[in-house]
Amino acid sequence: MLRFELLPGRNILVVTPEGPLEQGDFEQFAQQVDPLIASAGSIAGLMIEAESFPGWRNFGALVSHLRFVIDHHRNIERIAIVTDSGLLKVLLRVAAYFVKPTIRRFAPDGKAGALTWLETGRSHQ
């Protein structure tokens, strides 16, 4: 299951996986994202907060996830992943070769820095 929230006035979506990802998660997520892209032209940032990668419920969920990425990655400027998960660190390195958005990992206590980077493209030091 995916929980997602649009931060008002910031053009940033925050996504938190809660258990294995399901096919319907990406369909619901697209219903939230598509109108935002239509009105703003793109999404400034997508923050994924995850202690660990929960995996997919089944093969259909994996296919839906890949389809969502293919259909939407060109409309997202930056992706911040807030995690300490070793597997997610590896997955984001691999994903960076295949998608348009700049992807950056932040430690779990770095959420404020991740939000700043998503909005401005710069980190506060």
pLDDT (tens digit per residue) in 78-87: 999 999 887 7
Look at residue 76 and give its three-state secondary structure: strand
Reported as a pLDDT band with limits 50, 70 and 90, residue 22 is very high
Q: Are 114 and 106 in contact (CB under 8 A)?
A: yes
Indicate if the pLDDT at residue 114 is higher than 50.
Answer: yes
| Nearest to 118, CA basis, from 34, 10, 3, 9 | 10
pTM of the predicted model as reported, rounded to 2 decimal places: 0.86
How do residues 47-64 score in pLDDT, each as one tens digit?
999 988 888 999 999 999
Answer whether residue 125 shows pLDDT above 50: no
Domain ranges of the chain: 2-120
Q: Which helix (H) or strand (E) holds 3?
A: strand 2-7
Quick one: which of 43, 24, 60 has its CA closest to 99? 43
- Alpha-carbon gap, residue 106 to 88, rounded angstroms: 11
The CATH fold assigned to 2-120 is Transcription Regulator spoIIAA (3.30.750)
